[in-house]
């Protein structure tokens, strides 16, 4: 039996992964800890993949409030949870652990929540059901994005992935709402779309640009790239040049942190201008 933490206890949380030093999550959470003058801290937790079990099981013993989990630890950590949220079960990966008062571990996946909230932040009247949504990629991030778009009301999703079998597996979970197209048809799959979402890693700072011609995409369509390093991928740049509303993945990163902070520290934090400025400053 674990000791109940008393309310005056210094609270610790962090982000677990390897490599992890590049993570901006400590800036986000420590900003909110400062805003609310909490006796708490949030740090980087560099943990090798073969040490994930020992580290996760040690969270309660250390008296930690919980932690975020990033690649490549998201799937392994999920298997160690005592309880999983419905979204974590659907996505098949967790990005947040909340240590309960009795020491048990609850696993959550807030990526989808963060994604939808980031769209609403930029376009308050955004709706998921205004037309087809073309999604490129079928990895872990795509799973969270697709389920949250469906929950938000999306009724017509075109899914394309380089490895078609992964797209087929994902579409099979919602066959009436998600249609798979060949990767080679990605340019034409933009025709009539209300939204284009890039969930592939193409366009990241260390990757080639996404090979995509935007000619068929209606100018009214919103373009959303999950990548935020760089802040402006070649896709976002090209979309802006055509006049599209085009968003990067920074809003998703910031918004997924909100429910985690609330679960650990009991306060729903606000993504204020100072926080955005602190994060943007890390890109200089
Ligand atoms: P993942 O599970 O490894 O999936 C990678 C995806 O990219 C797969 O669909 C993969 O296709 C595709 N891909 C890789 N190389 C490609 C290429 N040369 N041509 C075409 N497609 C290619 O990774 P993930 O966790 O889903 O992350 C994907 C992206 O989302 C990353 O850039 C990540 O930074 C971003 N992300 C952002 C946030 C945020 O908070 N903003 C959160 C999570 C992820 P195959 O299946 O064919 O390999």
Of 84 and 5, more confident: 84
Report pLDDT digits (tens) over 72-85: 888 899 999 999 99
* The pLDDT of residue 7 is above 70: no
Helical H runs in the chain? Answer: 25-35, 52-61, 74-78, 86-91, 111-122, 140-151, 164-171, 234-242, 250-265, 273-281
Residues taking part in catalysis? 74
- Identify the pLDDT of residue 3: 47
Distance 137 CA to ligand 1 centre (A): 6
Q: Is 130's C-beta closer than 6 angstroms to any atom of ligand 1?
A: no
Which residue minimizes the CA distance to atom 44 of ligand 1?
Answer: 141
CATH topology of domain 112-248: Rossmann fold (3.40.50)
Mean pLDDT estimate for the chain: 96
- Say whether the peptide bond before residue 19 is cis (omega within 30 degrees of 0): yes
Distance 208 CA to ligand 1 centre (A): 12
Domains 11-109+256-281 and 112-248 share a fold: yes
- Read off the pLDDT of each residue in 182-188 and give the average, rounded to a whole number: 98
- Identify the pLDDT of residue 72: 87
Q: Is 136's C-beta closer than 6 angstroms to any atom of ligand 1?
A: no
Distance 139 CA to ligand 1 centre (A): 6
- Identify the pLDDT of residue 1: 44
CA–CA distance, 84 with 102 (Å, rounded to integer): 16
Q: How far apart are the first and last CA of the chain?
A: 48
Q: Is 201's C-beta closer than 6 angstroms to any atom of ligand 1?
A: yes
CATH topology of domain 11-109+256-281: Rossmann fold (3.40.50)
Report pLDDT digits (tens) over 197-213: 999 999 999 999 999 99
Domain ranges of the chain: 11-109+256-281, 112-248
């Amino acid at each position: 039996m674990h000791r109940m933490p008393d309310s005056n206890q210094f609270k610790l949380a962090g982000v677990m992964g390897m490599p992890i030093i590049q993570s901006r999550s400590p800036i986000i959470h420590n900003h909110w800890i400062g805003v609310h003058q909490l006796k708490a801290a949030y740090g980087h937790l560099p943990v090798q993949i073969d040490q994930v079990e020992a580290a996760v099981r040690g969270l309660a013993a250390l008296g930690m409030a919980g932690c975020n989990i990033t690649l490549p630890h998201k799937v392994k950590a999920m298997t160690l949870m005592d309880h999983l949220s419905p979204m974590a079960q659907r996505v098949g990966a967790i990005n947040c652990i909340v240590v309960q008062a009795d020491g048990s571990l609850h696993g959550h996946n807030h990526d989808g929540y963060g994604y939808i909230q980031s769209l609403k932040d930029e376009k308050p009247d955004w709706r998921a059901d205004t037309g087809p949504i073309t999604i490129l990629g079928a990895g872990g991030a795509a799973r969270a994005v697709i389920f949250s778009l469906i929950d938000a009301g999306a009724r017509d999703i075109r899914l394309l992935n380089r490895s078609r079998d992964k797209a087929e597996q994902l579409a099979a979970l919602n066959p009436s709402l998600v249609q798979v197209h060949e990767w080679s048809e990605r340019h034409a799959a933009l025709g009539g779309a209300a939204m284009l979402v890039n969930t592939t890693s193409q366009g990241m700072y260390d990757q080639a640009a996404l090979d995509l011609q935007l000619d068929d995409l209606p100018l009214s369509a919103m373009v959303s790239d999950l990548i935020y390093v760089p802040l402006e991928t070649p896709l976002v740049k090209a979309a802006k040049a055509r006049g599209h509303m085009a968003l990067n993945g920074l809003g998703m990163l910031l918004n997924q942190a909100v429910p985690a902070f609330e679960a650990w520290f009991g306060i729903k934090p606000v993504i204020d201008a100072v926080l955005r400025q602190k994060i943007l400053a890390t890109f200089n």
